[in-house]
Homo-oligomer: A and B are copies of this chain.
Amino acid sequence: MNSWFTELQTKDMALSCRVTEILHQEKTPYQELAVYNTVPFGRMLVLDDIIQTTIVDEFVYHEMIVHVSLCTHPAPRRVLVIGGGDGGTIREVVKHQEVEKTTLVEIDGRVIEAARKFLPEISCGLTDPRVEIIVDDGISHVEKNKNAYEVIIIDSTDPIGAATGLFEAAFYQNIAEALTEDGLFVAQTESPFFNRDLIRRVNREVAEIFPLARLYLANIPSYPGGLWTFTLGSKKYDPLKVNKRILASLNTKYYSLEVHKAAFTLPLFVAALTK
C-alpha cells in the first residue's frame, strides 16, 4: 500500500505520513473520525483530518497534560477531564493513588469506542473502577457542577467547531466555579509558533479569573511545529512549587520532577506571550 495521510497543519503548511493501513473511517454526528496505521507514528487517531494522538508520541502529551497539574495539587481526589475521548489522559490520571474518582466528559461517544477498539494502549485506563464516563458537552457539564473538582483537565481538539467554546473566557469562569476553592485547571493551548494570538488571549483571560496563570511547554512531533503549550490556572497552588511526594510511583517516559520545572522555563519569545 503506497498511501499517505496529509494534515494541512495551517493553510500553508502540511505534514504527511506514509499509511500502511486504514483501520477505520466513519462520520460521527460531530466529525469525521479515522484511525490510520502509519510508519512514522504508528496507529493514529484523526478527527476532521487533524491528528489527535499517535502511538509513537502520545506519551508526551498525556503525561504533560496530567502530571504537571496532578503533582501540583497536594490532594487531587476528584479530577474532571473534558474531551480526551481516546482515554490517554485518563490513563495518566489513574496512576495517581490519591484520585478517588475521575470523570471523562466527551461530546462524541464514537471517539471513545474507536479508541477502545483500535488504540488499547491509550484507552486502557478507561476500565479503571474510579472512572466515570459521560457522553456530553463539557461546557454544559461544568455549568451544572459547582465546587466539584480539585483538578480539571481540558483535553480538547483545536479551537474550531465544537471546541471553540472551550477557549473562551465565559468557559474559564465556569471552570473556576466547578473547581474547589483550592482547585486548578490545565488546558492544551496550541503552538507558540503558529497560534500566538490565541495563547496571548487565553493567558490574559485566565490571569483575570485565577490568582495564578502559567504557561508551560512540551515537545509533540505530530503537532504543528512540534512544540506545544499548556495553560494552567490555579486558585492556590503554584506549579513551580511542586509536591514531590506524589512523584515516586509514576511510571513515565517524558515527565519527571526536573522536566516539570524546566517545562515552565520559557524561551524568551514564548515568555513574551504571557506579558
Chain A residues at the B interface, C-beta cutoff of 8 Å? 4, 6, 10-18, 38-40, 56-57, 59-60, 191, 193-194, 217, 219-221, 224-227, 252-256, 258-259, 261-262, 265-269
Interface pair A265/B268, CB less than 8 Å apart: no
Question: CB-CB < 8 A to A225: which residues of B?
Answer: 219, 221, 226
Query: DSSP class of A's interface residues: helix, strand, loop or mixed?
Result: mixed
Question: CB-CB < 8 A to A17: which residues of B?
Answer: 12-13
| With A14-B15, A225-B226 as contacts: A219 and B267 at CB distance below 8 Å | yes
Alpha-carbon distance between A191 and B256 when the two chains are bound, in angstroms:
21
Question: CB-CB < 8 A to A38: which residues of B?
Answer: 12
Interface pair A253/B269, CB less than 8 Å apart: yes
Alpha-carbon distance between A268 and B38 when the two chains are bound, in angstroms:
25
Expressed in whole angstroms, the minimum distance between the Cβ of A259 and any Cβ of chain B is 6
Alpha-carbon distance between A12 and B41 when the two chains are bound, in angstroms:
10
Interface pair B16/A14, CB less than 8 Å apart: yes
Alpha-carbon distance between A114 and B194 when the two chains are bound, in angstroms:
28
A-B contact pairs, 15 of them (CB 8 A): A4-B14, A10-B40, A12-B18, A12-B40, A13-B17, A15-B15, A193-B221, A219-B267, A220-B226, A221-B225, A252-B268, A253-B269, A254-B267, A256-B267, A259-B266
| Besides the known contacts A219-B225, A253-B267, 19 further A-B residue pairs in the complex with CB atoms under 8 A apart | A6-B16, A11-B18, A12-B39, A13-B15, A13-B16, A57-B193, A60-B267, A217-B219, A219-B219, A219-B226, A220-B226, A226-B226, A226-B227, A255-B267, A258-B265, A259-B267, A259-B268, A261-B262, A261-B265
